[in-house]
Amino acid sequence: MKNKMITIMSALMLTTVVSTAAIADNPVVLKAVGTWSSLTNFKKHEGPFFNEVLAKASNGQIIGDIKSQSGLGLKGFEIMRLVKNGVFDFAFGLPGYVAAENAVFEGADLSSVTQDIETERKVAEAYFPIMEKNFAEIYNAKLLMLYPFPSQTLWCNAEVNGLADLKGKKIRVYATTLGDFVEGVGGTSVTVSFAEVIPALEKGVVDCAITGTMSAYSANWQQVATHAYTLRVGWGLAFGAMNMDKWNSMSKVQQEIMTTEIAALNERMWAETATEDKVAIACITGGECAIGEKGSMKLVEPSKEDLAARDKIATDVVLARWAERCGVECAENWNATVGAVLGMVAKAK
């Protein structure tokens, strides 16, 4: 019976694909991987874009099939290698996760240097050509978009009432630049995958963890963490990139449709993220919450002294370390783009 059901389901899936594809001659089928299935970006944007929007917008010329990296059991670090090898045609992911290949990918989302979403968008747009060039050279991929997750803050299962309390704490990070910030405040950075954060907080493997505001709420971190320290330490900037060979195999019309629809998707995602911080923080700390159950974490907002200390760490530690990792030419490119937006200078020795 079980084998029969599998056969039936397979047939139904095949029928759906064939009937949809029949709308257009020679449709292109895109195998895509998205971010985390439990979060807004995948549920409301990445998933529907590939499973519904593309086929409708292209009248069946482009057929998408997307799975989340969490659903596939991927950690995120391997995403672009799989795109380069043709396992996936398209990927949504975080540059911070692929920066092990080259520090240049960190440049649009260095920890602590950008404090509001309007400035972060200017940073992303300024740095896009540099990211585009490196995606092409390193991964044989065409960068099509940069979009944000909500702001990255600290969620602690420990008494944290200000920046000074982070000293000596073990703090979960997912990117080198976040580790630079943690070490700049006197903490110890610990790399833990998103799916493993709750048990890590429960068992004391980490005292605090960094992720986005809505990401923390959606993943129920409020069930194990006690303090929400809303010092903004990053944006979780994400990308959408496509295998270059697959892109080049598409017709000019298909490429134009893809470009137009990606641009519209990008706008929707920036607009969505701009609203999520306040909603998530209110929900996770027992405030007004129309999207689910309230948490009871203690809200700890950074003081003026905390913000001043963060700014100093951003310049003296985060930016300085990144410039050393990335090299002189990389730092100069950053200065001419992001640096010009922020009024900051990266110096590589």
Mean pLDDT, the chain, integer = 91
**C-alpha distances in Å from residue 337, one per residue of 69, 102, 113, 145, 204:** 31, 18, 14, 17, 41
- The whole-number pLDDT of residue 348 equals 83
Q: Are 239 and 93 in contact (CB under 8 A)?
A: yes
Q: Side-chain half-sphere of 300: how many Cα atoms within 13 Å?
A: 24
pLDDT in tens, 171-225: 999 999 999 999 999 999 999 988 899 999 999 999 999 999 999 999 999 999 9
- The whole-number pLDDT of residue 99 equals 80
Q: Is the pLDDT of residue 294 over 80?
A: yes
User: Per residue in 107-118, is it b (16+ CB within 10 Å) or e — as a string?
Assistant: bbbbbbbbbebe
Q: Is the pLDDT of residue 164 over 70?
A: yes
Report percent pLDDT > 70 for the chain. Answer: 93
Structure token digits, residue 94: 């975080």
Q: Which domains does the chain have, with CATH numbers?
A: 2-148+236-275 (3.40.190.170), 152-235+277-342 (3.40.190.170)
Q: Is the pLDDT of residue 71 over 50?
A: yes
- The whole-number pLDDT of residue 293 equals 94
Q: Are 254 and 61 in contact (CB under 8 A)?
A: yes
pLDDT in tens, 235-278: 989 999 999 999 999 999 999 999 999 999 999 999 999 999 99
Least confident of 14-18, 229-233, 337-341: 14-18
- The whole-number pLDDT of residue 7 equals 34
- The whole-number pLDDT of residue 258 equals 98
